[in-house]
A and B are shown apart, each in its own frame.
Chain A
Amino acid sequence: MISFSPTEEQKMIVNTVKQFATDVMRKKYRECDEAGEIPADIINAAWELGLVISCIPEEHGGAGWDHSALTGALLAEELAWGDLSMAMHILAPSLAILPIVEAGTAEQKKKYLPTLCGAKFSTATAAFIEPRYNFDPTEFGTTARKSGGYTLNGEKCYVPLAADAGFILVYAGEGGSNQCFIVDKGTKGLEIGEREKNMGIKALATYELTLKNCKVPAENRLGGSAGCDCKRLANLSRVALAAMAVGVARGSFEFSRDYAKERYAFGEPIAARQAIAFMLADMAIEVDAARLLNWEAAWKLDKKEDATREACLAKMYADNMAMLVTDYGVQVMGGHGYVRDNPVELWFRNGRGFTAFTGMAIV
């Protein structure tokens, strides 16, 4: 039966996250962007909501809930509405959790999942993108060569929280197929570079990685000899990021809409002019359009069907939408949108990032 209504349980999760985003994230996001870091108490408060470990089986320390990409999309939108850097930081452990829960061997689950279920936030992460303009998620430049265990070589970038991660999932090409390898902190040949400096997501610590003849044991291949379905993991990631794009864009729409009603020019609110009002209408339509496309992709992933087409379309659409809408947010506010007293310039910088962001969230 066609329906656009989330379940009661999903509504509850969304409300909890929305409350947190409003009360906590929205109070501090500007300071964090300027300082380039997020206070531990915010991250730990989010940790207590239990969002990222809920899909870990109880025997390994989680809540044992079924994973749902759709629920993930709903909560990722709310978190990103609060702040994108914080959302990516809070959700970073899921970059390791979900792939291991979905594809890991029994030993991998047992060894790694409990390390992420402590009383306080602790993280692992994933290294997906590579620092070149023509990065291709269907054909990683990073390679894994079988030699007893595996030898990894290559460069990665935009790896969230790499310096603090207990282990890192490294995506690499192995012969003709794409696979994922668990690299423990401190493994020889794994070099974590300087913290990256980007136009946006300034409060999120991301790093470049270099893998130089980095050797991992054979049992660290995700999924063991069966391997993992990197295509599905990439699609889950697309849906998570598209949901975040929707959250960022919605924030910009709401803020500039409210401003446009208060701001007077030529004797009336600027919102009373079609030139402004039509931008706001388009923002509202495009935010909803992107969200619905993404829900459909997430829904298909939850049915465990191949959703490559849907996820790619949803991500592409959301990337473009986020750029357009966050640009309009600045435009509606004129000079006041350009200064850092107001948030829309921050969302504009974050919004531009989505075409580059791949594999940086998975929920």
Chain B
Amino acid sequence: MIDFELSAEDKAKVEEAHNIAQTLFRPVSRYYDEHEHEEPQELIDTMWNLRGKGFLTGLGVVGALMVEELCWGDAGLYLASPGPGLGGAAVFAAGTQEQWGRFLARFNQGKPKWGAMAMTEPGAGSDTAAIQATAVHDGDYWVLNGEKIFVTMGHRALDLSEGIIVVWATVDKSAGRAGMKSFVVEAGTPGMKVEKLEKKLGIKASDTVTVTFNDCRIPFNNILGKAEVKTKTEGFKGAMATFDVTRPLVAAQALGVTRAALDMLKDELDKQGVKIRYDVPRSKQTALERDFMEMEANWRAAHLLVMRAMWQLQGGTPNALEASMAKAKAGRAATLITQRAVELMGPLGYSRKLLFEKFMRDAKINDIFEGTGQINTLVVARRVLDYTRDQLK
């Protein structure tokens, strides 16, 4: 039965997330935006303790809704919260049970830790098949060499905690995509170094770093999936399976920021005595009402696309098409809506007194990482046309 109602239990979880967003994230949102790279220590500790009590450890529809709530509070602080992150998602999607124990158990004990994922390189962003990092089999070890950029939470995962990073490298350049494999590297492994802390447009509370690998030796069984190179693209499928989860989740991040802008806009208009009249005809709507309704409808449509993709995932239905639909729509909606909110509020929108301008800066990343808007549109196009990547480039 088509139903949009959460169970009472799930509703409580989403409310808890909203409460945390409001009381813990929002009050320090501006501060950590203006003090890039400063540690939000209190928030980290609180989030780690909550994690220990099972907060936000499940995925599915309710997981996405909780992510949306937290990003309503602050998207950068959500990313900065300790936990297995994208690296953990990759281990979970492609690892063995033994690997889950060895790499993921740490996220439920001891001090705060972070997980990171490194695919992007200076010469390979959207075109992931072009990565140059190598992994060479040497007895009981793999030897990694290469440079990874734009690694989210790499600094906190590798320098400030006993975290992990999942690194994509090729074991056989001549094999193309089939030669691409992912490897788990633990913090403190010799030969791995965090080099550069990026200064960014938004989501400043999260760190983004370059990580280099110089003859970095890791145990042979740190590879996720099989070591053999098949003629098919089996190795790469691990990354793709991770996207089925991470794309809707990143879309949920986008929607949190977007709703924050919409809610604030509504509040500010309320203060001025302006109410949105939903059922008046075009001829009587103000331009502002029309804009607001279009923004709200776009946010909600994207929200429902995300929920659908997560609902499919939790029911074990293939969702690659719908995951990319959700991500493409949410990334674009977030970009346009937050920009429009700044515009509609005039000098108040552009001012750093309020958060509109920050929402706009924070929102933009969502149309870039986890596949740019174009890349997700390309995935959707290939799927609806039933085309291979060679038939539609």
B278 and A313: CB pair below 8 A?
Answer: yes
Q: Taking CB as reference atom, which chain B residue is nearest A71? A: B2
Shortest CB-to-CB span from B3 to chain A, Å, is 5
Q: Tell me whether A282 and B377 are in contact in the complex, defined as CB-CB below 8 angstroms, given that A299-B3, A316-B297 are known contacts.
A: yes
Q: Does B385 contact A (CB under 8 A)?
A: yes
Shortest CB-to-CB span from B234 to chain A, Å, is 26
Which chain B residues lie closer than 8 Å to A24 at the CB level?
none
Q: Taking CB as reference atom, which chain A residue is nearest B290? A: A316
Q: Does A5 contact B (CB under 8 A)?
A: yes
Which chain B residues lie closer than 8 Å to A271 at the CB level?
385, 387, 392
Which chain B residues lie closer than 8 Å to A138 at the CB level?
279-280
Which chain A residues lie closer than 8 Å to B378 at the CB level?
274, 277-278, 281
A317 to B333, CA, bound (A): 13
A246 to B307, CA, bound (A): 20
A274 to B378, CA, bound (A): 8
A320 to B297, CA, bound (A): 11
Which chain A residues lie closer than 8 Å to B308 at the CB level?
4, 288, 292
Which chain A residues lie closer than 8 Å to B284 at the CB level?
134, 136
Chain B 78-93 per-residue mask, 1 if CB under 8 angstroms from chain A, else 0? 0000000000000000
B294 and A316: CB pair below 8 A?
Answer: yes
A313 and B2: CB pair below 8 A?
Answer: no
A2 and B302: CB pair below 8 A?
Answer: no
Which chain A residues lie closer than 8 Å to B298 at the CB level?
317
Shortest CB-to-CB span from A350 to chain B, Å, is 19
Q: How many residues of B contact A (CB 8 A)?
A: 45
A260 to B193, CA, bound (A): 49
Tell me the residues in window 283-311 of chain A with beta carbons closer than 8 Å to chain B beta carbons.
284-285, 288-290, 292-293, 295-296, 299-300, 308-309
Q: Taking CB as reference atom, which chain A residue is nearest B3? A: A3
B283 and A134: CB pair below 8 A?
Answer: yes
B391 and A272: CB pair below 8 A?
Answer: yes
Measured CB to CB, the residues of B under 8 A from A are 1-7, 61, 278-284, 293-294, 296-298, 300-302, 304-305, 307-308, 311-312, 322, 325, 328-329, 374, 377-378, 380-382, 384-385, 387, 391-393
Can you give 30 contacting A-B residue pairs, CB < 8 Å?
A: A1-B5, A1-B6, A2-B6, A3-B3, A4-B307, A4-B308, A133-B283, A136-B281, A136-B284, A137-B279, A231-B279, A234-B279, A257-B384, A272-B387, A272-B392, A278-B374, A278-B377, A278-B378, A281-B384, A289-B329, A292-B305, A293-B297, A293-B304, A296-B304, A299-B3, A299-B4, A314-B297, A316-B294, A317-B294, A317-B298
